[in-house]
Amino acid sequence: MHNSKARITAIGSYVPKRTLTNNDLEKLVQTNNEWIIQRTGIKERRIAHQNEYTSDISYQAVRNLMERYNQSIDDVDMVIVCTMTPDFKTPSVASLVQAKLGIKNAGAIDLNTACSGFTYGLHVANGLITAGLHKKILVIGADTMSKITDYEDRSTCILFGDGGGAVLVELDDQHPSFLSTHVSSEGEKAKNLYCSNLSHSMFEEDLKNNGKLIQNGREVYKWAVTTVPKGIQKVMENTSIRFSDVDWFVPHSANLRMIESICQKADFPIEKTLYSLVDNGNTSAATIPLSLDKGVLEGKIQNGNKILIYGFGGGLAHAGLLIDWDLR
């Protein structure tokens, strides 16, 4: 990877106030608390208010970042929102967030690679800054998965929650954050995880066109536990650092059993793995920034730590980044 000139300088997060516990789900579908924990590790998830959308969650995550790091965002010159649950088809969530924050001179784009979105967003921000095109970028990973979850489908409704996280990425050629990257996609497996929009004839005739998320959990699971360990190897190949010397591994928080399998295959201790699913469920593009921020708030993540993040999901797309954590 060519030398990065970008550094992550601040982080913030937000989750809605309403909680949906496993016991609450017992009243909606045939399931129970023990079954959900045993198979997913999830205890509860946060659910957006009826009138709370991805742009609201994104805005609150940035407000949290500004307050904690005393950061001005007036000079942000690009807003990237990574989401698969935009408020509208157009305008983009990024444009709505830019307006809510009163940022005057910034471009605004949404990026949709589902659960790997935040990792892709950082990859793009690093590229734009390293190329000299931008100096200060807000990267937000946020989703309101409850808006597209079918609460009659017990295989998916137990998984998903809502939330968002934001980071600032700034020009800094002396102490760059981005050490190595790997991005890839296997679109031929797309039918295993989809949410219909305009087209629904692409995959098969009996495809559900109800605007809700449909997942073949078994196939996605099999794909992830073989693909992610190989992807980790690709990230580490581009650097002199060994995976065993990484301080923290932060995978997409899809399912704790999946994370345990990935760690086992990649020969990495689960004790050095950070995840956000226990209290938040699978928040798609938000899981990695929520996990990172949880690590920061709990005092686990320290400046100088080497952190490998790895996103994977709908697309089926995946992306990994090795980060030198240095907020200063």
pLDDT digits (tens, 9 = 90+) for 64-86: 999 999 999 999 999 999 999 99
Catalytic site includes residue 82: no
Domains, the chain: 6-171 (3.40.47.10), 178-324 (3.40.47.10)
The amino acid at 271: E
Distance CA 148, CA 157 (A): 10
Cβ neighbours of residue 88 under 8 Å, at least 6 residues apart?
Answer: none
Instruction: Verify whether residue 282 is a known catalytic residue.
Output: yes
**Which residue among the candidates 22, 64, 126, 282 is catalytic per the annotation?**
282
Q: Are 145 and 284 in contact (CB under 8 A)?
A: yes
pLDDT of residue 282: 97
Residues 6+ apart with CB under 8 A from 312: 115, 116, 224, 227, 228, 231, 251, 252, 254, 318, 319
Amino acid sitting at position 298 = E
pTM across the whole model = 0.96
Which residue among the candidates 115, 157, 195, 263 is catalytic per the annotation? Answer: 115
The rounded distance, in Å, linking the Cα atoms of 162 and 287 is 9
Residue 2 pLDDT more than 70?
A: no
Catalytic residue among 157, 252, 280, 318: 252
Count each helix (H run) and each strand (E run) in the chain, helices first: 10, 13
Active site residue 252: yes
Q: What is the DSSP string of 77-88?
A: -EEEEE-SS-SS
Tokens 């020969």, residue located:
267
- Residue-averaged pLDDT of the chain: 94
The pLDDT, as a whole number, for residue 211 is: 83
Which pLDDT tens digit goes with each residue over 193-247?
988 877 656 655 555 667 888 888 889 999 999 999 999 999 999 899 999 999 9
